[in-house]
Amino acid sequence: MILLDGKSVSKKRNLELKDKIKDAINLYKRAPKLAIILVGNNPASLSYVKGKKKACELVGIINEMHHLDENVSELDLKALIVNLNQDDTVDGILLQLPIPKHLDEDLLIDLISKDKDADGFHVVNQGYLYQKKKTIYPATPKGIMTLLDTYDINVKGMNAVIIGRSNIVGFPVARLLMDQGATITVCHSKTKDVGFHTRNADIVVVAAGRPHMLTKDMVREGAVVIDVGVNRVDGKLIGDADFEDLREICSYITPVPGGVGPMTIHSLLENTFELYMNHVKK
């Protein structure tokens, strides 16, 4: 078994990105800027946002935090997004999800200018992705594809099973794997027998949010396992894949933590830099 070490891959790539950003700052006389909007105090979101902020600082991206009260009105949040859209010093905007139920997530995501959409969640950018056109890709799927590429894992002709159908991970990663020549199956909460599908998979991407749901009996020998799950159980972070169980039989596997998570953050930095380059060249 070979560990897909997202932590070290992202560290190396972040340093390369830092150099690119330094050169760009010399040329364009300003640093890239990412505005991060966090609503409320969801502990997981607080921790993710802290990680994103730290990563920005490491590579030279200015981060502007907007930490709003849990009860902020939709009107106020809309006004903030419109302001950030108009602010010429801001290159990327990120609205940390989930947001409280009284706020319309789809409406707010689509209010972010598609040219500042650091997450690649805007309906237009997702439309470009589904039409196989160049655009900003959602960070987790992009990070997974970079990790596979770094380890020379060519998915052409593979059977890929994705567990989870979200707009953030499952659906876009299915699209990207298909673009690379994989045959895809998307399983979800209504799938009758997930194991029936995963047992025939050459690569399994699990993004179900269910601790250790993917076990040895569900995966065939030599398969690649990509674990997107981040579950806090008894104060410990564990994935959707039962790592100890699976490590004996799979060819490659991502650990949790240290696998997909750092690659997601790296991709967010790459997206912000790409938006900045589009912005300064306009």
Active site residues: 52, 96, 119
Contact set for ligand GUN, span 152-171 (CB under 6 A):
168
Does 126 bind ligand GUN (CB under 6 A)? Our answer is no
Does 110 bind ligand GUN (CB under 6 A)? Our answer is no
**Residues sharing a CB contact under 8 Å with residue 253, sequence separation 6 or more, in sequence order:** 1, 3, 4, 224, 225, 226, 227, 241, 243, 246, 247, 259
Does 84 bind ligand GUN (CB under 6 A)? Our answer is no
Does 140 bind ligand GUN (CB under 6 A)? Our answer is yes
Neighbour-count burial for 60-84, b at 16+ CB within 10 Å, e otherwise: bbbbbebebeeebeeeebeebbeeb
With contacts defined by CB under 6 A, name the span among 62-70, 95-103, 219-227, 274-282 that binds ligand GUN.
95-103
With contacts defined by CB under 6 A, name the span among 8-16, 90-98, 199-207, 244-252 that binds ligand GUN.
90-98
Q: How far is the CB of 22 from ligand GUN (least distance, A)?
A: 26
By C-alpha distance, which of 242, 245, 249 is closest to 227? 242
Does 139 bind ligand GUN (CB under 6 A)? Our answer is yes
Does 129 bind ligand GUN (CB under 6 A)? Our answer is no
Pairing of strands 92-95, 159-163: unpaired
Closest to ligand GUN by CB, 120 or 246: 120
Which residues lie across from 241 on neighbouring strands? 214
**How large is the angle between the packed helices 6-28 and 43-59, nearest 10 degrees?**
50
Count residues contacting ligand GUN (CB under 6 A)? 9
Gap between the Cα atoms of 1 and 251, Å rounded: 5
Helix H or strand E encompassing 68 = strand 62-68
Does 95 bind ligand GUN (CB under 6 A)? Our answer is yes
Closest to ligand GUN by CB, 165 or 247: 165
Residues in touch with ligand GUN (CB under 6 A): 94-97, 119, 139-140, 168, 264
